[in-house]
Structure 1
Amino acid sequence: MNILPQRNIQSYISEDFLLSNEFSRKLYHCYAKNQPIIDYHNHLSPEQISNNKIFDNITEIWLKGDHYKWRAMRTLGIDESYITGNANDWEKFEKWAYTVPYTLRNPLYHWTHLELQRYFDIHDVLDQNNALEIYKCTNEQLNTAEFSTQSLLSKMNVEVVCTTDDPTDSLEYHRDFRNSGSSFQMFPAFRPDKSYTIDSPDDYRIYLNKLSEASGISIQNYDDLLSALLNRIGFFHEKGGRISDHGLENLYYFKNSSLDAHRIFKSVMDGNIPTDEEVSFFKFKTLQELCKMYHAKGWTQQFHLGALRNNNSRMFSKLGADTGFDSIGDFRQAASLSGFLNELDKTDQLAKTILYNLNPGDNEVMATMTGNFNDGSIKGKIQFGSGWWFLDQKDGMEAQMNTLSNMGLISCFVGMLTDSRSFLSFPRHEYFRRILCDLFGKDMQNGELPQDEKWIGKIIQDICYYNAKDYFQFPHK
């Protein structure tokens, strides 16, 4: 049995963490550090934000729902009872504390200690020996009003937070929050994936019943479906929504096809299982119609591409989706992505678009694809989104920013987002900003960029905050 030596190691995370030279340090401390946060994509609970929830303990806020941590614990050989099972919260935290020292060189090691510092002023390196002390210390703080959901977001200087919401959502918590007097704003983001996922006719009909009820439109045919979606887009817009989001393996494109979305819809409603080609064609046609609706509203559409989901069928049957059994996929992206975007651009109905790829081998594809459809109408109209999921770590973010710099304009980049379910995840913006500043600082030191602190500092501020503020045009209070 491995027994860790008794020790109390002060954190290696200093104020100059990840900042390798004086230029990097100036850019971060003087220009990036204090910029507000616009977190335009995450999976936080609107209910918990609106109700200003106070969490019972560190396990509830930190470990529940975090499949990054779950994967690490499973890799270390920890039993599922301590991960998603019936062990109590202290036992789960203790197992995570045991895991942390083994996550060296994984971003979890950095994130864990940044979060302990920034939220709880705990500077020790977490391990099994100090787990109980840290568990008690964090819980004492969490059980106060200063650690409610709204307080946690305000503490991180969040200005805007956008949740991820199904078209059938009532948005009641967004409505209630609008009148809360909070220091930040919360807006919904439209996630209509279920509206075009027709693989299972029985599940699809159940979903359409919910969509019918939410929209007040009886969905009997394909035109009714589009009318119901347009109705919900209008509803989201009234509540401040300006963003849509879609999770796909790849985008779909059919130049010529004998298939017809109306006939496919009727067949599915009759209970027939669609072919793979029919599924893809239906997604293509429905997404095209949705994108035209977004354009008419002046929205931004986001496409998260390339995840191979639910690989472990045994664990999926036990735990369901989003439990840590997804990975990077190797789907072909370029041709269909080009055709999909071009089909919208032909009629000048291509909305502001952010493309996120999960496969780092597609970085250059995405970065060059954005340039095909930037038409001078909007600064950075088509964006190569920040490193996502498995790529939102130091190497992944550096690769994304270097590719964007080489093949586009990083000066127009709308920056980072958390894409997280955790209220303790916002130091990821700090992590991104430190990495960003170090990239520029190294170039300044090496003579690859001028040592013009004020101009480069302005570019840093734009990437951290101002580009997103100008790009999304969220409603003001």
Structure 2
Amino acid sequence: MTQLTPNPDRLFPADPAERDIARRLYAEVATAPILSPHGHVDANLLLENEAFRDPAELLITPDHYVTRLLHAHGVPLGELGLADRGVPSSASGADIWRHFSSHWSDFAGTPVRYWFETELHDVFGITEVPSVESSDRIYAQIAERLARPEWRPRALFERFNIEVLATTDDPADSLDAHRALAADPTFAGRVLPTFRADRYMDPGAAGWRDALTALADAADIDTGTYAGLIAALKNRREYFIAHGATATDTGVLEPTAEPLTTAEAERIHAAALAGTASEADTLAYRRNMLYRYAEMAAEDGLVMQLHPGVIRGHHAPTLERFGPDTGHDLPDQASFTRPLRRILQDFGTNETFRLVLFTVDETVFSREIGPLAGFYPSVFAGAPWWFIDTPAAIARYRSAVTDSAGFAKTSGFIDDTRAFCSIPARHDMSRRADAAFLAGLVTTHQLGEDEAAVIIRDLTDRIPRSVFRL
């Protein structure tokens, strides 16, 4: 039986002297509370606190990092538990786990492998490497643990030492779960909503009219006009702030922001409702809405997170069958300096405005994001995200951004996950990678070890707490 024993020095430098420094730096933050200011765990998970039903349903099916790579190796998504055109998958949890185990070697060198080794060993006490032979044994061991009270969501929340967990929520959401958790004296954690208003930006997108209707009902404001839409969004931002929100999240293909006159925006809004808006109209409307979201952030102080450069639903047949967020949202080239110039000219030095820039195109870290964060007080360089939240990419990010902006103009780690049990593994990976990077600066005499210890504590706690106004 091959043993699963994560090395205590994983991700640390090979040089013994540098590795010793990394060990000491990591020890400064190894047990620090987790601040997770951007993620996708459902607040109802913690409110209901029901036992997880199945290992595969918990660890594999909701994690598109896992399902997309299995799909790349020939496993159909329907055999991984994803509903096909709304029809639930007939695959059993044990079958899904066998697919995963039989492809364990295909995850070698990926962050998924790192996270799973840490999860399986540290969270579930698994000591055997996944394989075709061990699959059923490991599945049964995890299933047995999930039935125990100490593996329910709230117990794990406490064991993971999560202090703050942000969710991602539509402006029309009632936030009932957040309100109930905040009022529950038996739950000490902070679960904060995040305002995500992407579906109100594009009047050419399917579902835009339905979104307006839902927003109108939630805000009790008519969204049949552009002015009404803006008023309703502001109303719901206030509602989110009252329920603990500190940030918004916005995903766009390209981040150009240009305001329209009210009259022109009203014209396009009416044309879109009538089904006569042109492609040029919808593009102008989207760019105007991005500007207005920044304008609102400069007024109410919600931290604006911006995630451009992703082509959503790249494979249309998969989107039609299995829906969004199923692994085929893929990176595009990104640009920030020119597209954001109008926003930053108007709000870049506004003390209330705060903008965290994320990318899946790491070529822009040194070329654009670092320099922008190195001038504008409002701009922060978001952590490597999605396809580049890997140990090697974290090191490249630190090198690229630190030259222009230093450490304090970065965001702190972002786990960006729906996979609840991967949260501590992801944060541990980031802390180890930062310890390794800082150890390199110490051994090359660019930093003293005492200062490096302060920096790694700041990267783990003070910086994300400050950036996201936690």
User: Is the contact made by 1:73 and 1:99 (CA closer than 8 Å) also made in structure 2?
Assistant: yes
2:20 is aligned with 1:18: no
C-alpha contact (below 8 Å) 1:23/1:441 kept by paired residues:
yes
The answer to whether 1:151 aligns with 2:155 is yes
Q: Does 1:315 align with 2:318?
A: yes
Pick which of 407-416 and 239-248 moved more: 407-416
Matches within 5 A, 1:113-132: 113-132=117-136
- The CA deviation at 1:52 is 1.4
- Distance in 2 between residues matched to 1:100 and 1:72, nearest whole Å: 11
Q: What one-letter code is carried by the residue in structure 2 that aligns with 1:72? A: L
3-state DSSP of counterpart to 1:174: helix
Instruction: Tell me the TM-score normalised to structure 1 length.
Output: 0.91
**Mapping for residues 359-398 of structure 1, pairs under 5 Å:** 359-364=361-366, 365-374=368-377, 381-398=378-395
Specify the SS of the correspondent of 2:71.
Answer: helix
Residue 318 (structure 1) shift: 1.0
Q: What is the correspondence of 1:15-414 to structure 2 with a 5 Å cutoff?
A: 15-20=8-13, 21-29=19-27, 31-83=28-80, 84=82, 85-180=89-184, 181-200=186-205, 203-254=207-258, 260-272=264-276, 274-345=277-348, 348=350, 351-364=353-366, 365-374=368-377, 381-414=378-411
List per-residue Cα deviations over 1:373-428 (Å, max 9, x = no partner).
Answer: 22xxxxxx421100010010112211111111111111443311210011111110
Alpha-carbon contact 1:371-1:408 (below 8 Å) kept: yes
Residue identity in the other structure for 2:354: K
C-alpha root-mean-square deviation of aligned residues, in Å? Answer: 1.9
User: What displacement does 1:263 show?
Assistant: 0.7
CA distance in 1, matches of 2:451, 2:335: 39
Displacement, 1:256? 8.6
1:190 counterpart SS class: coil
Runs of 4 or more, structure 1, over 6 Å off, are 255-259
Task: Say whether the 8 Å CA contact 1:189–1:245 is kept in structure 2.
Answer: yes
Question: 2:451 is matched with which residue: 431, 455, 460?
Answer: 455
- State the match for 2:86 in structure 1: none
Q: Secondary structure at the match of 2:171?
A: coil
Query: For 2:468 and 2:330, how far apart are their aligned partners in 1?
Result: 30
**Mapped partners of 1:79, 1:187: distance in 2:** 35
**Distance in 2 separating the partners of 1:40 and 1:141:** 29
What is the CA-CA distance between 1:193 and the residue it aligns to?
0.5
Quote the offset at 1:111 in angstroms. 1.2
Cα distance in 2, alignment partners of residues 234 and 256 from structure 1: 24
What SS does the corresponding residue of 1:240 show, helix, strand or coil?
Answer: coil
User: Separation in 2 of the partners of 1:461 and 1:123?
Assistant: 31
Of 111-120 and 246-255, more deviation after overlay is shown by 246-255
For the Cα contact (< 8 Å) 1:338–1:369, is it kept in 2? Answer: no
Q: Which amino acid aligns with 1:444?
A: V
Per the alignment, in what secondary structure is the counterpart of residue 257 of structure 2? coil
Task: Tell me the distance in 2 between the aligned counterparts of 1:130 and 1:223.
Answer: 60
Cα distance in 2 for partners of 1:395, 1:464 equals: 18
Give the drift of 1:349: 7.3
Deviations, residues 186-208 of structure 1 (Å, cap 9, x unaligned): 010000011112114x6222111
Structure 1 counterpart of 2:417: 420
From 454, 464, 468, the counterpart of 1:468: 464
State the Cα deviation string for residues 427-448 of structure 1 (Å, max 9, x = none): 1000000000011112222x23
Per the alignment, do residues 228 and 250 of structure 1 end up closer, same or farther by CA in structure 2, a change over 3 Å counting? same
Secondary structure in 1 matching 2:429: helix
Aligned AA (1:265)? H
Structure 2, unaligned runs of 5 or more: 14-18, 83-88
Cα offset, 1:243, TM superposition: 0.5
- Of stretches 232-241 and 356-365 in structure 1, the one that deviates more from structure 2 is 356-365
- Partner secondary structure for residue 460 of structure 2: helix
**Residues 252 and 280 of structure 1 are in contact (CA less than 8 Å); yes or no, is this contact kept in structure 2?**
no
Letter in 1 for 2:214: K
CA deviations over 1:347-379 (Å, ceiling 9, x no partner): x376111000111122221111222322xxxxx
**CA drift at 1:25:** 0.4
Aligned counterparts of 2:456 and 2:210: Cα–Cα separation in 1: 47
1:341 and 1:123 map into 2 onto residues whose CA distance is 52
Instruction: Name the SS for the 2:208 alignment partner.
Output: helix
Match of 2:436 in 1: 438
Aligned to 1:377: none
Answer yes or no: is the 8 Å Cα contact 2:268–2:281 preserved in 1: yes
Give the letter aligned to residue 148 of structure 1: R
SS of the residue 1:169 aligns to:
coil
Query: Match for 1:352: what amino acid?
Result: R
Q: C-alpha displacement at 1:27, in angstroms?
A: 0.3
- The answer to whether the Cα contact below 8 Å between 1:252 and 1:281 also exists between their aligned partners in 2 is no
Contact 1:259 1:281 in 2 (8 A): no
Secondary structure, counterpart of 2:78 in structure 1: helix
Q: Conserved in 1, the CA contact under 8 Å of 2:258 and 2:287?
A: yes
Q: Does structure 1 retain, via aligned residues, the 8 Å contact 2:370–2:402?
A: no
1:177 Cα offset (Å):
0.7
Q: 1:278 to 1:297 in 2, by over 3 A?
A: same
SS in 2 for 1:334: coil
Describe the SS at the equivalent of 2:339: helix
Task: For residue 168 of structure 2, give the secondary structure of its aligned residue in structure 1.
Answer: coil
SS of residue paired to 1:126: coil
3-state SS, counterpart of residue 244 of structure 1:
strand
Change over 3 Å in CA distance of 1:45–1:454 after alignment to 2:
same
How far apart are residue 308 of structure 1 and its match?
1.5
Give 1:4's aligned residue. Answer: none
- Bigger shift: 354-363 or 292-301? 292-301
Partner of 1:3: none
CA–CA separation in structure 1 for the residues paired with 2:223 and 2:134: 57
Helix, strand or coil at the partner of 1:161: strand
Alpha-carbon deviation of 1:104? 1.1
Q: Hey, what's the Cα distance between the residues in 2 that align with 1:106 and 1:331?
A: 23
1:259 deviates by 8.4
* CA distance in structure 1 between the partners assigned to 2:132 and 2:200 by the alignment: 46
Secondary structure of 2:333's counterpart equals coil
Residues of 2 paired with 1:40 and 1:124: CA distance? 33
Q: What TM-score results when the alignment is normalised by the length of structure 2?
A: 0.92
Q: Secondary structure at the match of 2:163?
A: strand
- The answer as to whether partners of 2:379 and 2:409 remain within 8 angstroms in 1 is no
